[in-house]
Amino acid sequence: MTLPGKHSSTLGRAYLIAGGCIGFYAVTLLLLPHYPVDLAAFLTYSVQTLLLFICIAVFKHEPTRNRRFVFLNFAILFSTAPLAHIYNFVGTVIPAEWFYSDTRFSRFLINQYVFRGAYFFFLAIALGYLAIDLVLREQRIAMKYIVTVGIVAMFFGVYYYPFLRDPLYLHNTVDVQEWKVLDHAFSGIKQNTGVEPTADELAALPSVRAAFDAMNVSNEPARVTELYPYLYADNWKILVFKPLHLNQVYMSILAIGFVILFFGYQFLKDPPQGAYIEKVMFLFLAFCTLEAFHAYMATSIIEWQALNHFTILGIYFSVLVLSLVAIIFSLRLHFITSAKGEFYEQELAESPGRITRWRDLLDDLVIEKFFNRKVILGRLLVDPTRR
């Protein structure tokens, strides 16, 4: 049985360790040479560092073995947070050649494979396992992982196969190859005449027409007009990252699909669920929707500077959602390390048909603000004053 007060010390220890790590992040950024770090980016991996240690604490104190793996998956997801801080020093304190022989692409490849690839893979695994765990409640943990990883790996393999085959795939896409033709012609004319050619003038150049014919480009004038905005400033970067952003959209939609499966099954079968789990899934529905929206907009905005402003604003919204996730995870940790929480979770695992769903702190708040307590008492909501 959990001792009184253990929940507060456990949660406090997790916050203390996370706070120490975030303090270490700040000190190293002040003392060591590094690439520029936006406040939004710092807040993102700081909140995820907090989530990492809360998940580890929940994993260690979960009273049921099956539920531990749910939070192990989230801990693996948020383990990318310390890597995000280390990434700031690649090419300054940390030698770039450790990661790729051509040091120009070291940071690019870390970003591609870790923060835009592995992160979304683990996000889909974490949410997929929660949904599969609900649907295949009676199956072994190994079978649940086989189903979850199989589904996620299948989609991930389809979307990311070009990146796994060629690390520099983004620099060799059809869009980029066609842009290079236009950029070469654009730069040449501007250098020789001092005047920037128009899209129509570029489309009429024999060199451009010959190159596009060799690439089997149809409707060449329309294609030149489409690519023309990317010839200015750093707008070409949007074109380079477009396939990766689309993959983020697809993986986010896959994660949203798992959340919908979770709530759909919950609606149809209504099995008793662990405390705060539904709130976790709801917040991740919002988070994944934001991630999909941000990635999609990154393929639609054609001005690099405007995209940076939009991205920073979007990150703040994501940080807000992740902060709410941290609160829910903290409430979960507080609950399972209490005597009543440990008893409820064990009973839920051993004989779920004999108990009703726990009414948590957020349920109480909603009832107090929006409903009549005397009416909303039934199968879904347990009266805490009942003896």
CATH number at residue 24: 1.20.1070
Given this model, what pLDDT does residue 368 score?
53
Given this model, what pLDDT does residue 296 score?
96
Exposure on the CB side of residue 365, measured as CA atoms within 13 A: 3
Place of tokens 């070469």: 184
Given this model, what pLDDT does residue 119 score?
97
Is residue 307 situated within a structural domain? yes
Place of tokens 């990318």: 80
Are residues 157 and 244 located together in one domain of the fold? yes
How many domains is the chain built from?
Answer: 2
Given this model, what pLDDT does residue 211 score?
92
Are residues 266 and 376 located together in one domain of the fold? no
Is residue 196 situated within a structural domain? no
Given this model, what pLDDT does residue 62 score?
86
Are residues 266 and 255 located together in one domain of the fold? yes
Are residues 313 and 382 located together in one domain of the fold? no
Are residues 249 and 363 located together in one domain of the fold? no
Residue span of the structural domain in which 362 resides:
356-387
Place of tokens 């054609």: 302
Are residues 259 and 368 located together in one domain of the fold? no
**Residues 81/52, Cβ–Cβ less than 8 Å:** yes
Is residue 197 situated within a structural domain? no
Is residue 191 situated within a structural domain? no
Is residue 319 situated within a structural domain? yes
Q: Which residue ranges in the chain fall short of pLDDT 70?
A: 1-8, 272, 339-387
Given this model, what pLDDT does residue 348 score?
59
DSSP structure string for 126-137: HHHHHHHHHHTT
Are residues 338 and 367 located together in one domain of the fold? no
Is residue 211 situated within a structural domain? no
DSSP structure string for 321-353: HHHHHHHHHHHHHHHHTSHHHHHHHHHHHH-GG
**Residues 357/272, Cβ–Cβ less than 8 Å:** yes
**Residues 67/277, Cβ–Cβ less than 8 Å:** no
Are residues 68 and 14 located together in one domain of the fold? yes
* 3 state SS of 85: helix
Task: Pick the closest to residue 223 from 179, 169, 259, 257 (CA basis).
Answer: 179
**Residues 34/365, Cβ–Cβ less than 8 Å:** no
Q: How many angstroms separate the Cα of 200 from the Cα of each of 113, 134, 181, 185, 344?
A: 38, 58, 15, 13, 71
Are residues 24 and 139 located together in one domain of the fold? yes
Given this model, what pLDDT does residue 380 score?
45
| Prediction pTM value | 0.87
Given this model, what pLDDT does residue 154 score?
97
Mean pLDDT for the chain? 87
Are residues 257 and 303 located together in one domain of the fold? yes
Is residue 343 situated within a structural domain? yes
Are residues 255 and 362 located together in one domain of the fold? no
Is residue 221 situated within a structural domain? no
Given this model, what pLDDT does residue 386 score?
47
Q: Over the stretch 119-162, which tens digit does the pLDDT of each residue have?
A: 999 999 999 999 999 999 888 999 999 999 999 999 999 999 99
Q: Which two tokens stand for residue 374?
A: 């005397």
Given this model, what pLDDT does residue 1 score?
42
Are residues 238 and 387 located together in one domain of the fold? no
